[in-house]
Chain A
Amino acid sequence: MVEIPEHLRKRAEAARAKAEAAKGGSATSETKETETVADTPSETPSSGDEKIPAHLLDRGVPAGNQPSISEPSDVPPAQSGPQAGQGPDGHNQRLLTVVKAGSIQDVKTTPTDKVHVWPHLLIAEFLAALAITLFTTLFSIVVNAPLLELADFNRTPNPSKAPWYFLGLQELLTMFHPMVAGVTIPGMGIFLLIMAPFIDKNPSNKPEHRKFAISLMTVHLMFWAVLVMIGSFFRGPGFNFVFPWEGGLFFEL
């Protein structure tokens, strides 16, 4: 005979006691029931099972017959054979065990808190677009784009500067061979940027777990920003170093 797990046996016993108490209580007295109930709590497995009707927890008995049955459940299922098929609609069902979802399902995705794109996201986007349009328009009313004299191949302006985002490269040109400054370094830069996700194997996106990556990037960005600043504001005639407050500003956007 299959051994019934300890906790299920206890639960069944408790339920049987309860059912019996209820049956007797209706006939005799209320006190008996309260006594039985007072006995059982130590044996009741958990409060979560209270929703399940007690008679369904009786393992030895077909569901259809349960309310009227009061024999002990160590009657093996084979012996209750004659009663088979006497449940509702001819079925013979009983509750074998209760398995809570969490114990067998491996729930990987926790439900995420989501909001509707309209209006939450679209309004933010619309306002951002409006703000930047306003800013650009107002700025354009106040500041004119530069238009110097007609291009002249015979008059090289001193200094000649690249657009501001390339001034870091032009700054490097003062230190390295043009091939290194103009091709190798920017080429390596773009290549390393592209490779970043394949080099950085750290799976975390928390700043405290990726101090090295963040420091490295910050150092490079700062290095680049400083080079662009120097190239923009601190380089005068002959691309020599000047202080803008002394030698003047040589910068056009």
Chain B
Amino acid sequence: MAETNGDKAAGQALKEKLGQIGGKVQDSQTWTAIFRPGSIFRKGYTDSPRNRSYVIMNSVLYHLHPVKVKRHAVKVSYTLCLGGLSFFLFIFLTVTGIFLMFFYRPTAAQAWDDIQTLQTAVGFGLLVRNMHRWGAHLMVLTVFLHMARVFYHGAYKPPREFNWVIGVILLTLTLLLSFTGYLLPWDQLALWAVTVGTNMMGYTPVFGEQVRFVLLGGVEIGTDTLLRWYTLHVLMLPFVLIIFLAIHFWRVRKDGGISGPL
């Protein structure tokens, strides 16, 4: 009995000590420099409508989400989370893609060997490559399904018609990102899938030959094509995609939040 009381007292003392340290940290200049006035990390969080607003309002999340949304907008059965999942997969693919870039050189002589080495000799190399590939296929799927969802809800109607246009551009960019990534392993699958694809683009009226030349960086697929598509895949297309994503998200809010209810 006495011992448990002693334990309690010790626990109490420890709690007080921790509270003091916590208070000191929260009062320090570093802490207050990082967290804005009103941030829940500065004044603590107890569940109240005001604090629920502060979570969004005093953090970077405010760029993405408003403080409140229509009740039906949080129903998973309405959106199926498809747009959000597409965005999350984009981040997921960026992270895994950066990992892959450490081990990959985009030349015809080295690309395939690098991937072989990545899979056999690099810790988690095989797993991360798998995640990147399956994530990419999944993203094509979620973006496509997101478009279908938006169509079936009639969510492209005024005032959201411009955001629909941006969405179609994003879908095209997603397909291009996936297609440019397809070449990079430089195996038989990559080479011939891209051959089939670029042959089709060569039939563009009037400019066919030129389009194909620009895309391939030559008259035939080769090491120049690889470098070109690598640059498109890791830098240019993501850059363009992010710009359109920013407009897309901004317009969702400006056009009055997500559509509906039906």
Contact = CB atoms under 8 A, between A and B. Distances in A.
A112 B70 contact: yes
A151 B200 contact: no
Contacts of B178: 163, 165
Interface stretch (A65-73, A86-94, A125-133): A125-133
Interface residues of A, number: 72
Contacts of B138: 132, 136
Chain B, interface SS category: helix
B189 A148 contact: yes
Contact of B188 (A115, A119, A155, A164): A155
Interface string A173-206: 1000111011100000010011011101011111
Given A140-B134, A160-B195, A178-B203, A129 B71 contact: no
Contact of A124 (B74, B130, B158, B197): B74
Given A144-B130, A205-B154, A162 B197 contact: yes
A32 B187 CA distance: 106
Quick one: which of B65, B190, B203 has the most chain A CB within 10 A?
A: B203
5 A-B pairs with the lowest CB-CB distances in the bound complex, closest first:
A182-B200, A205-B154, A197-B161, A140-B130, A151-B191
Interface of A: 112-122, 124-125, 128-129, 132-133, 136-137, 139-141, 143-153, 155-157, 160-166, 169-170, 173, 177-179, 181-183, 190, 193-194, 196-198, 200, 202-207, 210, 213-214, 217, 221, 252-253
Interface of B: 49, 52-53, 55-56, 61, 65-71, 73-74, 76, 81, 84-85, 88-89, 92, 108, 112, 115-116, 119, 126-127, 129-135, 137-138, 140, 144, 147-148, 151-158, 160-161, 164-165, 168, 172, 175, 178-179, 182, 185-193, 195-197, 199-201, 203-205, 220, 259-260, 262
